[in-house]
Structure formats: C-alpha cells, structure tokens
Structure 1
Amino acid sequence: MHIDARNIDNNSLIEGDICIVGSGAAGISMAIELLNTPYKVILLEGGGFEYDSQMQDLYKGKTTGQRYFPLESARLHYFGGTTGHWAGFCSTFDPIDFKERDWVPHSGWPIKREDLDPYYSRAQKNLDLGPYEYSAKYWQDKDPELKGLSLDENVVFNKMWQFSTPTRFGTKYRDAIVKAPNIHLYTYANVTDITANQNVSAIKEVTVKNFAGKQHTVRAKQFIIACCSIQNARLLLASNKQAPKGLGNQNDNVGRYFMEHLEIKSAEMWLTKPDVLKLYQWDWGVKHRAELAISEDIQRKHRILNGTASLMPLEVAKNQTPMIDLWSADTAKTNAFMKEGERRGKTQKELKSHKAFELFTRVEQAPNPNSRVTLDAQKDALGVQRANLHWELTPLEKHSLRKIYQIIGEQIGISAAGRVRLMEYLQDENDNTWPEFTGGGWHHMGTTRMADDPKKGVVDANCKVHGIANLYMAGASCYATAAAPNPTLTLVALTIRLADHIKQKVKTTV
C-alpha cells in the first residue's frame, strides 16, 4: 500500500507494529523480509519515487579534514536510495575483519564471519547475484580461461567479486511493496525527530514532515532506522530534546568512527610478456572477477589493514579522471558515475593482451573516533540541523597501502611474471600525506558501530541501540570495521539477520 504523506490530513496519527525509516538497500530489504507477515509495517521514505532536487538538498552538509565528495551527491534521497547509482560490486568480508586485531585500535565485532554466512546466502538473491561461491577455484573450474597470476596463495590470493546487474531496489521491489497488504509505504514522510518515553528507555513515536507543510506522528512497537551512516547518526544526534547529547549517545559514540574505503591508484605492474589476465578483468555485464588480496597470516605478520588491488590496462587507466575530481554536487542528478563507468567498461572491453597494468587499491580505514559526523549550526528546510563530516585518516592507512604493494611486488618478482613499481607518493616510508587524487568509494560505514560494551559502541550484536528497548539501526552504520569489500552485500546480509531477530521479538509485543 502506498500513501503520499503530502495528501493526508495534517497532524495525522499513523500506527503500526513495526516502523522502518528509510527505503534504501537496508530499509527495503527489511520490508521484503516482513512481506506477508501478520504485522503492520510502516515504511517511511522522505522523498518520492524519482529524483527531487529539493529533497536532495536535505542531505547537504559540510566536510572537513581529508578532502571528500559533496555530501548531497554521495547519497540519493528517494525510494530505492543509493542503489539508484551503485555499480553492483559485491564480495564477502573475511574472517579477520570481524576479529580484534591488536595493531588496529577499536577493531573487533561481537559477531563472527560464520554468523553471517546463512544471511550472505540469502542476500545473494536480493542483489541478483549468482551462487554463494566466492572461491577463485570455483569460477575457474567453470571457465578455464579465467587465468590469473601464479602467486603463493598463502601470501597473496585471488579474492573474488560478484557483480549485481546492478539491482535498482526502487525499481525491482516497488510493486511488491506497494501491493503488499501489510506494508504501508509513506512517501514524502521525512523523519525529523524521535520521541522516547519519560526515562528514554523506549521509543514512543517519530515525527515526519514534508514540503507541503504537513506534519504527522508515527507510532509503533519497534523502530528501525535505515537512513545510511551519515543520516542515521544525524537523526540520533538531532533527537536531543530528551537526551541532550542525542539518543543512544550517552557515551559520546554516535557519529564517531565514520569509515570509508580509500580508493586510489597506487602502482604499476609490468609483465615480462603481454597477457589478458582474464580473471581480473571487468566491464559492464561481467558477473565475476578477482582482485589481489593479502592473506590473514601476512596481514598479522606485517600489522596492516585489509585491502585489495584491482588491475586495469595502463593505457586505459592513464586517460581516466580521478573520481574525487569527477564527482560534484550535481552528480547525483546527472548520474555521471554510472555513465563514466559504462564508458570505462566499453573502452576496457575492446582491449586484449597487455604488458602494463595499473594497480588500484581499495583499503579499509582504521576505526578512528576522530573521524566523525556531528551537527552543524545551520538547519535544513525542514528544521533539522545539517550534518558535518570530519573525515580523518591515520598513519596506519598509509603504512598498510605501502606494505600491500611491497608484498604484491615481491610475489610478482618471485613468480617471474614481471615487476611492480610503486607510485611516488608511496615511496617515502616517513611520508604520511595523501595526494590530491585520493578518493573514497562512497562507502559510508560506522557512526552507530556495533559492540557488546555500551562504552565502545552504539548498538549491540542485534543492532539494537544500547539502553533503548525498541530502537534498531540498520545498514553499514553498524559496522565496527570497514573490511576491504564494498559494503552492500554485507549490509543486506546484516539487515536480513536483523529482520529475523525483529520477527522473533515482535511476537512477544504484538
């Protein structure tokens, strides 16, 4: 069922069993899991079904620290959310990503990789991926032409990615949600405040507003906030009339530990003879490929972060504009990322064997409490304080990036396949600065991180906000560490896990 919140009576009271705030990958995945259940589900979307510049303006904010993209361009504010311009890259987190690492401050999740395996399998279907298989051998057995470099897999291994079409959640799942008798989708219902009971131990209601001047109240027994990492933190911080520091922020953790993937060209690989290296090639339409990754034992030995290296023919890579320069405030509207990606893919597809490749990195950011989202003094058009993102890196990221390529270079040399040349910004081991072309992957993570100890995080192992009985956070804001892979597959898996928990809990409250 779909209701436009601009067209109902002002100050309407909307009631249900479960309220989901946000309809991106997390919010829609949650709603899909609740289809045809006996529970009345209220799904709140701030925008409509199409891009709206007025809605997009609500995501404007300030950035400080490491250079970053304009905030209003990094997320889409309509039904389907940022799946409207994602590229479909999917891979699982590694076991080490969930473990406490003594060389990575604030690392460690209260869950293990194996806890997510059954949910990863289910998430594959949501994202239109293939079988739940992420070993290079599986795919090479199916296609003997997927040849890669002959490296010691105990040191550098081939980590597989699968690629969604990419699935546009707003398109694929719209009819199912609109036609579902128990799902009540309200568009133009932008949540501006959360109200708790007197001792702030449970949520009573949320307030929604829109540009038609309407304000409504939504009450439910369980609330799930699924607005993306920056907006999740912003909403908790802005809901401060009962808790001056913001809801769930009694230990000053909300908004902290914002993480991104550093995505940056890092080295060149020159082969002794030209090769296609099909295992590593990607263009639009390819369903899987590998990237070079460092084994857990070697990460421990060298005390480095997790990261991967993708290969692109050097003659193609040299003609590309860094995404940090390409991505502007208007990009969300023009969808320049998808157009540029398609252009790059078509260009790459025409090429065959190559002797030189650019090595491009995706490396996790170490959890850093100083990398954070706070509230700005300026308010948006609906009266909510805007977000201020301070993106701050540490020397561990630069050390890890440099060491990753030293390890890969050693292995390439040992195999006699060729040589690796680090880019100039990585050659001085005492240099912790970053070049102008340093970028991120638009992979917002952290800000309501998961931890058993309320002093170390915002939500528990079930994504429930510490100290508040019926408030949950969904999406990558719950990540304790960023890992190397793109976050969407894990985000959906974690949401399906949360949905199972909510279904069990709601039985006792409805």
Structure 2
Amino acid sequence: MHTDARNIENNSLIEGDICIVGSGAAGISMALEWLNTPYKVILLEGGGFEYEAQMQDLYKGKTTGQRYYPLESARLHYFGGTTGHWSGFCSTFDPIDFEERDWVPHSGWPIKREDLDEYYARAHKNLDLGPYEYSAKYWQDKNPDLKGLTLDEKTVYNKMWQFSPPTRFGTKYRDTIVKAPNIHLYTYANVTDITANENASAIKEVTVKNLAGKQHTVRAKQFIIACCSIQNARLLLASNKQAPKGLGNQNDNVGRYFMEHLEIKSAEIWLTKPDALKLYHWEWEITKARAELAISEEMQRKHKILNGTASFTPLDIARKQPAFIDIWTADTAQTKKNMAKFDQLGQDGKKKEGYKAFQLFTRVEQAPNPNSRVTLDTDKDALGVPRAILHWELTPLEKHSLRGIYKIIGEQVGISAEGRVRLLDYLQDESDNTWPAFTGGGWHHMGTTRMAANPKNGVVDANCKVHGISNLYMAGASCYATAAAPNPTLTLVALTIRLADHLKQKVKSAV
C-alpha cells in the first residue's frame, strides 16, 4: 500500500508494529522479510519514486580533511536509494575481517564470518546474483577461458566478485511493496526527529515532514533506521531532546569511525607476453563473475597490512581515464556525462589479442579511525534538520598497506616469471604519508553506528540494536566495525536479513 504523505491531513498519526526509516537496499530488504506476516509495517521514504533536485538538496553537507565527493551526490534520496546508481559489485567479507587484529586499532566484530553464511545465500536472491559460490576454481570450471596469473595461492590468491545486473531496488521491488497488504509505504515522509521516553530507554515515535509543509507522527513497537551511514548518524545526533548528545551517543561514538574504501591507482604490471587476463576482466552489465588479486590472511598478519584487492585495467586505457574523484560532481547531469565518457574510453580501447601492460587499481579497507567522523553543522536543511559535516581522515596504515600489498604481489609476479610490477611514484618513498590529488573513495559509506559488544566501543550490539535503547535498530553499512575489502552492498543486505530474523523472534516471543 502506498501513500503520498503530502496528500494526507496535516498532523496525522500513523501507527504500526514495525517502522522502517529509509527505502534503499537495507530498508527494502527489511520490508521484504515481513511480507505476508500478521504485522503492520510502516516504510518511510523521504523522497518519491524519481530523482528530484530539491530532495537531493536535503543531503547537502560540508566535507573537511581528505578531499571527498559532494555529499548530495554520493547518495540518492528516493525509493530504491543508491541502488539507483550502483554498479553491482558483490563479494563476501573474509574471516579475518571480523577478527581483532593487533595491528589494526579498533578492529574486531562481536560476530564471526560464519554467522553470515546463511544470510549471504539469502541476500543473493535480493540482488539477482548467481550461486553462492566464490571460489575461482568454481567459475573457471564453468568457463575455462577465465585465465589469470599463476601465483602462490598461500600468498596471493584470486578473490572472486559476482555482479548484480545491477538490481535497481526501486524498480524491481516497487510493485511488490506497493501491493503488499501489510506493508504501508509513505513517500515524502522525511524523518526529522526521533522521540524517546524520558530516560531515553525506548523510542515512542518519530516525526516526519515534507516540503509541502506537512508534519506527521509515526508510532510503532520497533524502529529500524536504514537511511545510509551519514544520514543514520545525522538523525541520531539531531534527535537530542531526551539525550542532549544525541540518541545512542552516551559514549560519543555516533558518527565516529566513518570508513570508505580507498580506491586508487597504485602500480603497473608489465607482462612478458600479451595476455587478455580474462579472469580479471569486467564489462558493464555483461560480466557475471571476475577475480581481483588479494593477499592471504597469513601474509596480512605477517606484514601487518589492511585487507585490499587489486584489479586490472589495460594501461593504455587507464592512462586516458580521469580519476573518479574528478568525475563525480554535485551536478548530476555533468556526472552522468563524465561517467559515460569514462566508460566509452574503456570500450574504445579493447583488444582481443590481449595487452602487454595493465594498471593495477586498489580497493583497500580504511582502518577504523575515531577522528574520521560525521558531526552536525549549525546550518539546517529546508526541513529544519542540521546538515552533516563529514571529516574524512586517513592514517599512515592505509599507505603502508598499499605498499605492502604491491611488494607482495610484485615478488610473486617476479617468482612466476610472468612479468614485473612497478609502484607508482607516490608510493616510492616509504617515509611519505601524503596522498596524491587523484586519491578517491568508492562511495562506500560505513561505520558511523559501529557494532560492538561493549557500548563504550560502539553504538549497536551484535543484533544491530542501539545500546541502551530497547526498540531502536540500525540497518546497513553504518553498523560495520571494519570495512573489509569488498564493496558493502552484499554484506549489508545479509546483515539486514539477519536483523529481520532476530526481530521476528523478538516480536513473536512478546505475544
């Protein structure tokens, strides 16, 4: 069932059993888990069904520290959320990503990798992925043409990615949500405040507003905030009537530990003979699976480096393509033109016979850093909510890890006699911790309401419940304690499905 919140009587009271705030990958995945149940689910979306500039303006904010993308362009504010412009990259986290690592400050989750296996498999259906198989051998057996480098797998291995079509949640699941008798979707219902009881131990209601001047109240038994990492933190911080520092922020953790994937060109590989290296090849909306080079857990421990992967782009193509940080602007139309030109350069340069040289492009996790954070500005948006300020701050561990990754890969490529690896200039000096102008992120926001067993170390517990608040949950990548190397969407959907199962048990036992 769908209702446009601009068209109902002002100050309406909306009531249900479950209230989900946000309809991106996490919010819609949560709603789908409640289909055909006896519970009334309220799904709140701030925008409508299409892109609107005035809705995007509500996401506008400031950035400081390491150069970053305009905040209003990094996330989409309408039904389906940022799945409206994602590329479909999916891979699982590794066991080491959940462990406490003595060389990675603030690392460690209160859950293990195997706790997500069941949910990864279920998330595949939401994302239109293939079989729950991530071994290179499985995909090479299916397609013998997928050939890569022959390296020692105990040191450098082929980590597989699968590719969603990519699934646009706003398109695929719109009819399912709108026609569901127990799912009540409200568009143009921006949550501007969360009201708790007097001692902030439980949530009573949320306030929604829209640009038509309407305000409504939503009451439910359980609340799930599934906006995105920046907006999740922003909303908790701005909801400060009962808790002056913001809800869930008694230990000053809300908004801290913002993480991105550092995505940056790092090295070149020159082969002894031309090769297509099809195992590492990616073609938009065609490729079903590909590999990236990854460093084994044993070698990560030995060299005390972060988890990261290396992808291949033919060097003569890569040298013509601008850095992502220069492509993505606040002007959506211009960004689309920039991306189209970037993709066209890749298409024009293809050679069937293979290439002699490739650029190695890294996606490496950012170390959890409490100084990398989201705070509130004094400036407010059109609905009266303080805008976000993102301070993105890297540490020397990220650059040390980049050097370590390519030292290991370079040694293995040399041993195999398949070629040589050359570090780019900015990585040559081991005492230099500065970053070049082309440094960018993957638009992967994580960690601002991080998961931790102890409330002193995080915002939510192992079930994504906000510490100290009985009925408030966070959904999505804001719960990540560490970023790992893979793109976050598959894991955030899996974590959301796990949360849904927990909530079903909770509401069932309460009856």
TM-score range normalised by the length of the shorter chain: over 0.9
Partner Cα distance (1:335, 1:503) in 2: 41
What is residue 4 of structure 1 aligned with on the other side? 4
Are 1:253 and 2:253 an aligned pair?
Answer: yes
Matched AA of 2:311:
S
Q: Give SS of 1:72's match.
A: helix
What is residue 279 of structure 1 aligned with on the other side? 279
What is residue 422 of structure 1 aligned with on the other side? 423
Matched AA of 1:259:
M
What is residue 123 of structure 1 aligned with on the other side? 123
Partners of 2:262 and 2:362 within 8 A in 1: yes
Task: Give per-residue Cα distances to partners, 1:260-302, cap 9 Å, x unaligned.
Answer: 0000000000001111111001111111100000000000000
Q: Give SS of 2:509's match.
A: coil
Compare 330-339 and 6-15 and name the one that shifted more. 330-339
Q: Give SS of 2:3's match.
A: strand
Partner Cα distance (1:460, 1:356) in 2: 47
What is residue 87 of structure 2 aligned with on the other side? 87
Number of residues of Structure 1 aligned to a counterpart in Structure 2: 510
Are 1:35 and 2:35 an aligned pair?
Answer: yes
Q: What stretches of structure 1 of length at least 5 have no aligned partner? A: none
Q: Give SS of 2:357's match.
A: strand
Q: Judging changes above 3 Å, is the alpha-carbon distance between structure 1 residues 32 and 229 closer, same or farther for their aligned structure 2 residues?
A: same
Partner Cα distance (1:192, 1:67) in 2: 28
What is residue 289 of structure 1 aligned with on the other side? 290
Task: Give per-residue Cα distances to partners, 1:26-58, cap 9 Å, x unaligned.
Answer: 000000111111100000000000001111000
Q: Give SS of 2:194's match.
A: strand
- Alignment map for 1:222-241 (pairs within 5 Å): 222-241=222-241
Partners of 2:13 and 2:218 within 8 A in 1: yes
What is residue 373 of structure 2 aligned with on the other side? 372
Q: Judging changes above 3 Å, is the alpha-carbon distance between structure 1 residues 500 and 337 closer, same or farther for their aligned structure 2 residues?
A: farther
Partner Cα distance (1:334, 1:37) in 2: 42
What is residue 398 of structure 1 aligned with on the other side? 399
Q: Judging changes above 3 Å, is the alpha-carbon distance between structure 1 residues 36 and 335 closer, same or farther for their aligned structure 2 residues?
A: farther
Q: Judging changes above 3 Å, is the alpha-carbon distance between structure 1 residues 509 and 332 closer, same or farther for their aligned structure 2 residues?
A: farther
What is residue 478 of structure 1 aligned with on the other side? 479
Compare 275-284 and 468-477 and name the one that shifted more. 275-284
What is residue 496 of structure 1 aligned with on the other side? 497
Partner Cα distance (2:42, 2:426) in 1: 50
Q: Judging changes above 3 Å, is the alpha-carbon distance between structure 1 residues 35 and 336 closer, same or farther for their aligned structure 2 residues?
A: farther
Partner Cα distance (1:288, 1:349) in 2: 19
Partner Cα distance (1:258, 1:185) in 2: 30
- Alignment map for 1:81-480 (pairs within 5 Å): 81-284=81-284, 285-331=286-332, 335-336=336-337, 339-340=340-341, 342-347=343-348, 349-480=350-481
What is residue 25 of structure 1 aligned with on the other side? 25
Following superposition, the deviation at residue 340 of structure 1 comes to 4.8
Q: Give SS of 1:146's match.
A: coil
Q: Give SS of 1:405's match.
A: helix
Partner Cα distance (1:354, 1:137) in 2: 24
What is residue 68 of structure 1 aligned with on the other side? 68
Q: Give SS of 1:390's match.
A: strand
Following superposition, the deviation at residue 352 of structure 1 comes to 3.5
Partners of 1:450 and 1:480 within 8 A in 2: yes
Partner Cα distance (2:249, 2:208) in 1: 22
Following superposition, the deviation at residue 335 of structure 1 comes to 3.7
Partner Cα distance (2:116, 2:167) in 1: 21
Partners of 1:283 and 1:345 within 8 A in 2: no
Matched AA of 1:480:
A
Matched AA of 1:35:
L
Task: Give per-residue Cα distances to partners, 1:104-130, cap 9 Å, x unaligned.
Answer: 000000000000001000101110110
Following superposition, the deviation at residue 330 of structure 1 comes to 1.3
Task: Give per-residue Cα distances to partners, 1:63-98, cap 9 Å, x unaligned.
Answer: 000000000000000000000000000000000000
Partners of 2:316 and 2:349 within 8 A in 1: no
Partner Cα distance (2:500, 2:329) in 1: 35
Q: How high is the sequence identity, in percent, across the aligned residues? A: 84
Q: Judging changes above 3 Å, is the alpha-carbon distance between structure 1 residues 39 and 237 closer, same or farther for their aligned structure 2 residues?
A: same
Q: Give SS of 1:343's match.
A: helix
Partner Cα distance (1:52, 1:418) in 2: 50
Partner Cα distance (2:320, 2:353) in 1: 17
Normalising by structure 2, what TM-score? 0.98
Partner Cα distance (1:504, 1:10) in 2: 35
Partner Cα distance (1:61, 1:78) in 2: 18
Following superposition, the deviation at residue 347 of structure 1 comes to 3.3
Partners of 1:75 and 1:332 within 8 A in 2: no
Matched AA of 2:253:
N
Following superposition, the deviation at residue 241 of structure 1 comes to 1.1
Partner Cα distance (1:387, 1:27) in 2: 21
Following superposition, the deviation at residue 338 of structure 1 comes to 5.5
Q: Give SS of 1:253's match.
A: coil
Following superposition, the deviation at residue 339 of structure 1 comes to 3.0
Matched AA of 1:311:
F
Partners of 1:19 and 1:220 within 8 A in 2: yes
Following superposition, the deviation at residue 395 of structure 1 comes to 0.3
Normalising by structure 1, what TM-score? 0.99
Following superposition, the deviation at residue 503 of structure 1 comes to 1.0
Partners of 2:327 and 2:339 within 8 A in 1: no
